[in-house]
């Protein structure tokens, strides 16, 4: 047992300032709300806070096709009408709109997950958190389900430079299809997704029968659930499956996607999980004492998303948060109770004990088919992703390093948004 976990937390206020457009359910503003709860509970004092670097196009192209990355870089709201063929090709449109600062948004959230993975690789922390990440639907050559760049795949690729095996766990209400697809043919990554399946629910994949192919056969695990699952059923199933997975697969690191749309009352979800139930999964994964990368994901009732990820930050810090929410920039969103608890869900639980037992038995059967802890011939560790060279001596000393570069490794005072230059204080409710 480690004496005390060292936690690195990645945040850049700019991610919370982007706007997907009117009526779009994705509200990045929830990230500012989460951060302010973290600050108001003084959790930042127990972690190292970092501003992530903006991932370079060449880093994003470690998974995504170069032409797709280049198009995301180039496309702007006022020019998109000129590119109707490309928009269709890359699946940009209603679900994945082109908005102001889209590419920078992708660079920041992906940069956070890549930085988190590198920090774990270099053993500079035990747990790394990037609530802006977890955009699990993005594919190699296209956007999908509000996701443009798949930061999780990029983070896992980074971890694979140092780890023989990485375990990916996803508790978003939607199937983690983009991550599963990226690693469907390899035993170096085991993907485990707990999600709603059936009734044409997005993305339509994630049947228990989808288990991987070729070298990856049985290394994709899907736990398809029906509407209304509650804390007791979900956490019992989660713990028994994840225990068996860790025992069988023996991962060197874990990536945990904590999509909060599996909470009761989510605008797009259909489960009955409380924040305590959701957070219990995080607590359980932490107990394995393996290098752990934690991200956000879905979540469309934004005040509940913020509550959930603040509580889960506390869980990772072994800190229980008082139920009464302290005064903060966004306190008005948490009224009238101003408490961390959320109302119970009232969706009928369609997951019978026999259904859940059958799913568990099928998963265990698949796990019995794999050799214990597949070996991998380790090569020389490749370097961290390429960073373009520049000659410091040729630069004007006043311009040598832009503000963002200076900021990226230090905790900033203005990150707490308590002054006149608060980036978010004039934000309307988007």
Catalytic residue annotation: 137
Does 424 appear as a known binding residue? no
Q: Are 10 and 116 in contact (CB under 8 A)?
A: yes
Among 134, 354, 80, smallest CA distance to 257 is for: 134
Look up tokens 């956490």; give the residue: 235
405-428 CB burial, b ≥16 within 10 A, e <16? eebbeeebeebbbeeeeeebeeee
Among 311, 370, 355, smallest CA distance to 40 is for: 311
**CA–CA dist 73, 349 (Å, integer):** 44
Query: In the numeric block, which tokens belong to residue 83?
Result: 């590119």
Specify the DSSP class assigned to residue 248.
H
Does 384 appear as a known binding residue? no
Give the Cβ contact number of residue 403 at 10 Å: 8
Q: How far is CA 105 from the centre of its chain?
A: 14
- Residue 88's Cβ-side half-sphere holds a number of Cα atoms within 13 Å equal to 4
Among 223, 139, 216, smallest CA distance to 185 is for: 216
- Classify 313 as helix, strand or coil: helix
Give the Cβ contact number of residue 267 at 10 Å: 13
Does 276 appear as a known binding residue? no
**CA–CA dist 301, 279 (Å, integer):** 17
Among 374, 375, 364, smallest CA distance to 245 is for: 364
Does 24 appear as a known binding residue? no
Q: Are 202 and 174 in contact (CB under 8 A)?
A: yes
Does 391 appear as a known binding residue? no
Does 95 appear as a known binding residue? yes
For the annotated binding site for a divalent metal cation, the residues are: 172, 174, 261
* Residues annotated within a binding site: 95, 145, 172, 174, 261, 300
């Amino acid at each position: 047992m480690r004496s005390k976990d060292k936690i690195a937390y990645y945040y850049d206020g700019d991610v919370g300032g982007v706007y997907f457009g009117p009526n779009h359910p994705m509200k990045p503003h929830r990230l500012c709300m989460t951060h302010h709860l973290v600050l108001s509970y003084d959790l930042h004092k127990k972690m190292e806070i970092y501003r992530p670097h903006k991932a370079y196009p060449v880093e994003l192209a470690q998974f995504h096709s170069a032409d797709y990355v280049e198009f995301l870089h180039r496309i702007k709201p006022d020019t998109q009408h000129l590119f109707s063929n490309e928009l269709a090709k890359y699946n940009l449109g209603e679900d994945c709109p082109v908005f102001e600062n889209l590419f920078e948004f992708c660079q920041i959230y992906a940069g956070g997950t890549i930085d988190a993975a590198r920090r774990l690789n270099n053993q500079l922390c035990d747990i790394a958190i990037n609530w802006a990440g977890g955009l699990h639907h993005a594919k190699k050559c296209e956007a999908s389900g509000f996701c443009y760049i798949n930061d999780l795949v990029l983070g896992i690729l980074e971890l694979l430079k140092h780890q023989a095996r990485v375990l990916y766990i996803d508790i978003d209400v939607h199937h983690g299809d983009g991550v599963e697809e990226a690693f469907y043919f390899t035993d170096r990554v085991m993907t485990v997704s707990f999600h709603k399946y059936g009734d044409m629910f997005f993305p339509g994949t994630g049947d228990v029968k989808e288990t991987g192919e070729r070298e990856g056969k049985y290394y994709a695990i899907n736990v398809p659930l029906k509407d209304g699952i509650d804390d007791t059923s979900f956490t019992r199933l989660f713990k028994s499956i994840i225990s068996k997975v860790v025992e069988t697969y023996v991962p060197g690191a874990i990536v945990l996607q904590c999509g909060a749309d599996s909470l009761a009352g989510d605008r797009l979800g259909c489960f009955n999980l409380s924040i305590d139930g959701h957070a219990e999964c995080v607590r359980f994964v932490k107990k394995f004492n393996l290098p752990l990368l934690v991200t956000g994901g879905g979540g469309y009732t934004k005040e509940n998303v913020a509550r959930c990820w603040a509580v889960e930050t506390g869980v990772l810090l072994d800190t229980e948060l008082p139920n009464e929410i302290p005064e903060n920039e966004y306190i008005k969103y948490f009224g009238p109770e101003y408490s961390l608890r959320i109302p119970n869900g009232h969706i009928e639980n369609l997951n019978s004990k026999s259904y859940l037992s059958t799913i568990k038995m099928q998963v265990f059967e698949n796990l019995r088919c794999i050799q214990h802890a597949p070996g991998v011939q380790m090569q020389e560790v490749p370097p961290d992703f390429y960073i373009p060279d520049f000659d410091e001596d040729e630069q004007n000393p006043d311009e040598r390093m832009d503000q963002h570069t200076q900021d990226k490794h230090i905790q900033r005072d203005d990150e707490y948004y308590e002054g006149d230059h608060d980036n978010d204080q004039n934000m309307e409710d988007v």
